[in-house]
Amino acid sequence: MRIILLGPPGSGKGTQAQLLVQRYGIVQLSTGEMLRAAVAAGTPVGLKAKEIMASGGLVPDDVVVGIISDRIDQPDAKNGFILDGFPRTVPQAEALDELLKRKHLKLDAVIELRVNESALLSRVETRVAQMRERGEEVRLDDTPEVLTKRLASYRSQTEPLIHYYSERRKLSTIDGMMAIDEVTRAIHRQLLALGAVEPKTHARSAAKAVPAKKAKAGKKAAAKPAKTAKKGAKSAKTAKKAKKATKKGTKKGTKKTVKKAAKKTAKKTLKKGAKKAAKKVTKKRAKR
Residues known to be catalytic: 13, 88, 127, 139, 150
Q: Residues 4, 17, 39, 53: which binds ligand AMP (CB under 6 A)?
A: 53
228: nearest Cα among 159, 283, 161: 283
Kindly tell me which of 87 and 253 has the beta carbon lying closer to ligand AMP. Answer: 87
196 vs 130, 188, 260, CA distance in Å? 33, 9, 48
Q: Please report whether residue 253 would count as binding ligand AMP according to CB under 6 A.
A: no
Of the candidate residues 1, 6, 64, 261, the single one contacting ligand AMP (CB under 6 A): 64
If binding is defined by CB under 6 A, does position 189 make contact with ligand AMP?
Answer: no
Asked if 56 touches ligand AMP (CB under 6 A), the answer is yes
Rule CB under 6 A: choose which of 1, 20, 29, 35 binds ligand AMP.
Answer: 35
Task: Give the C-alpha separation, 272 to 166, whole Å.
Answer: 54
Q: Which residue in 26, 45, 59, 95 binds ligand AMP (CB under 6 A)? A: 59
CB of 114 to ligand AMP, least distance (A): 17
Rounded to the nearest 5 degrees, what angle is found at the Cα of 45, between the Cα atoms of 39 and 49? 60
Three-class secondary structure of residue 224 per DSSP = helix
- 2, 108 Cβ separation under 8 angstroms: yes
Of 67-126, binders to ligand AMP (CB under 6 A) are 85-88, 92
Q: How far apart are CA 287 and CA 133, in angstroms?
A: 55
Q: Are 144 and 121 in contact (CB under 8 A)?
A: yes
- Distance CA(98)–CA(206), nearest Å, equals 33
Instruction: Please state, in angstroms and rounded to a whole number, the distance separating the CA atoms of residues 232 and 222.
Output: 17
Least CB distance to ligand AMP at residue 108 (A): 19
The CB-nearest residue to ligand AMP is 32
Alpha-carbon span 235 to 238, nearest angstrom: 5
Rank residues 94 and 198 by Cβ distance to ligand AMP and give the closer one: 94
Closer residue to ligand AMP (CB): 85 or 253: 85
Residues 6+ apart with CB under 8 A from 284: none
Q: Closer to ligand AMP by CB, 92 or 235: give it.
A: 92
Identify residues 135-164 at the interface with ligand AMP (CB under 6 A).
141, 150
Q: Which residues bind ligand AMP (CB under 6 A)?
A: 9, 31-32, 35, 52-53, 56-59, 64, 85-88, 92, 141, 150
